[in-house]
């Protein structure tokens, strides 16, 4: 009987040794960074893929050495149901444990979309499409979803003015609708109770403030000049004068299907409510998407009595109080031989 006990003990020791040996080998494989072929190529995990299918795709891409072992690791650690869909990029060799941590915490590749200040919704749609978040048509349609802003601006006919200019980061799985929603959310976060109170104090609605801010944004890139341009517009509105601002004519042209920057004499006579050379007051909607400083300028114009301004062709403007002064400035800066 003694030899049986010895044999049993030896068998147990052998099994323990085997288990320990296998564990050591597995631990080494799990912790050892592996590099197959091109690690710079993205790996896309679709929604609904099983852990086994994910493991096969990672192995085929050279991210993990053995798909079966990776599947077993996910099962053993209880992570098979925690895999996030999305686009992943493994630019450096990773161990199986590191790969598992990346795909179960959703560290997907993020792509950027930049919306420059003053962009129109057509330009926003082009930027979204160029970044790969759907087609131009899908993006443009998303910028027409006034449901995202109706509670703040019942007069809005599109999201023009509310697509806040900034750089946005999004996963490849997101679409044009998600990007547009993020832009509107940035605007909504900007529009605080203090801003609402400031608008009410000068007798303007949110709709009117955003329109005015879009005009200011279109007229000058200079932060120092925005309150001055704002003052000119406020002063002209107060006197019932035509605003006569070229960016509104360009917007009317765009609405008519002409996407260009050259204004012809006939364009100044275009019968459009956006043509401020023909129609007094503010245009019916924003002509672009202004930044916070332009909104602030619309709410806080400078205390000056200027009624005119003209470009100096260097990014700044010359301001005047009378038409005579303005004509002299036009001759000086715009009609030089």
**Spans of the chain below 70 pLDDT:** 1-31, 35-40, 335-337
Do 73 and 178 fall into the same domain?
no
In a domain, 17, yes or no: no
Do 299 and 199 fall into the same domain?
yes
Do 207 and 302 fall into the same domain?
yes
| Predicted local confidence at residue 315, as pLDDT | 81
In a domain, 147, yes or no: yes
- From 190, 222, 242, the end of a domain falls on 190
Do 90 and 138 fall into the same domain?
no
d(C-alpha 172, C-alpha 83), whole Å: 16
| Predicted local confidence at residue 66, as pLDDT | 87
d(C-alpha 249, C-alpha 260), whole Å: 11
Angle, alpha carbons 108-114-120 (nearest 5°): 135
Do 198 and 301 fall into the same domain?
yes
With CA atoms as reference, report the closest residue to 314 among 248, 215, 225.
225
| Predicted local confidence at residue 13, as pLDDT | 52
DSSP state of 267: G
pTM exceeds 0.75: yes
Do 172 and 243 fall into the same domain?
no
| Predicted local confidence at residue 18, as pLDDT | 45
In a domain, 14, yes or no: no
- From 56, 83, 108, the end of a domain falls on 108
| Predicted local confidence at residue 23, as pLDDT | 46
CATH number, domain of 85, equals: 3.30.1490.480
d(C-alpha 45, C-alpha 94), whole Å: 17
Do 161 and 238 fall into the same domain?
no
* Tally of helices (H runs) and strands (E runs) in the chain: 13, 6
| Predicted local confidence at residue 259, as pLDDT | 81
Do 159 and 254 fall into the same domain?
no
For residue 323, the SS3 value is: helix
| Predicted local confidence at residue 19, as pLDDT | 43
| Predicted local confidence at residue 16, as pLDDT | 44
In a domain, 326, yes or no: no
The tokens 């003052």 sit on which residue?
A: 231
For the segment 227-238, what is each residue's pLDDT rounded down to a tens digit? 999 999 999 999
Do 36 and 104 fall into the same domain?
yes
Do 177 and 218 fall into the same domain?
no
In a domain, 323, yes or no: no
In a domain, 279, yes or no: yes
Residue 221 is encoded by which pair of tokens?
Answer: 């890139």
In a domain, 85, yes or no: yes
In a domain, 49, yes or no: yes
Q: Number of folded domains in the chain?
A: 3
Structural domain including 266 reads: 193-306
Do 237 and 294 fall into the same domain?
yes
For residue 283, the SS3 value is: coil
- From 108, 134, 159, the end of a domain falls on 108
Do 217 and 293 fall into the same domain?
yes
């Amino acid at each position: 009987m003694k030899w049986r006990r010895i044999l049993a003990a030896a068998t147990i020791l052998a099994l323990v040794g085997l288990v320990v040996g296998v564990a050591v080998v597995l631990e080494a494989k799990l912790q050892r960074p592996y590099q197959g072929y091109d690690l710079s190529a993205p790996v896309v995990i679709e929604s609904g893929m099983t852990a086994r299918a994910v493991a096969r795709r990672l192995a085929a891409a050279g991210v993990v050495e053995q798909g079966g072992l990776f599947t077993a690791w996910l099962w053993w650690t209880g992570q098979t149901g925690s895999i996030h869909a999305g686009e992943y990029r493994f630019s450096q060799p990773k161990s199986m444990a590191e790969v598992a941590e990346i795909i179960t915490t959703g560290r997907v590749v993020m792509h950027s979309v930049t919306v420059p200040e003053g962009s129109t919704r057509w330009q926003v749609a082009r930027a979204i499409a160029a970044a790969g978040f759907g087609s131009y048509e899908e993006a443009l349609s998303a910028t027409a979803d006034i449901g995202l802003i109706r509670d703040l601006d019942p007069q809005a006919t599109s999201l023009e003015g509310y697509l806040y200019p900034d750089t946005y980061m999004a996963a490849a799985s997101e679409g044009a609708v998600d990007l547009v929603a993020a832009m509107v959310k940035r605007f909504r976060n900007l529009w605080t109770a203090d801003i609402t109170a400031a608008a009410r104090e000068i007798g303007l609605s949110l709709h009117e403030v955003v329109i005015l801010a879009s005009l200011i944004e279109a007229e000058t890139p200079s932060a120092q000049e925005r309150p001055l341009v704002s003052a000119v517009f406020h002063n002209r509105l107060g006197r019932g004068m035509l605003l006569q601002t070229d960016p509104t004519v360009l917007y009317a042209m765009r609405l008519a299907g002409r996407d260009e920057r050259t204004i012809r004499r006939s364009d100044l006579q275009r019968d459009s409510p956006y043509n401020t050379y023909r129609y007094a007051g503010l245009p019916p909607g924003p002509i672009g998407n202004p930044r916070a400083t332009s909104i602030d300028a619309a709410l806080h114009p400078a205390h000056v009595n200027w009624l005119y301004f003209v470009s100096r062709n260097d990014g700044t403007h010359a301001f005047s109080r009378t038409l005579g002064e303005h004509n002299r400035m036009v001759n000086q800066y715009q009609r030089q031989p």
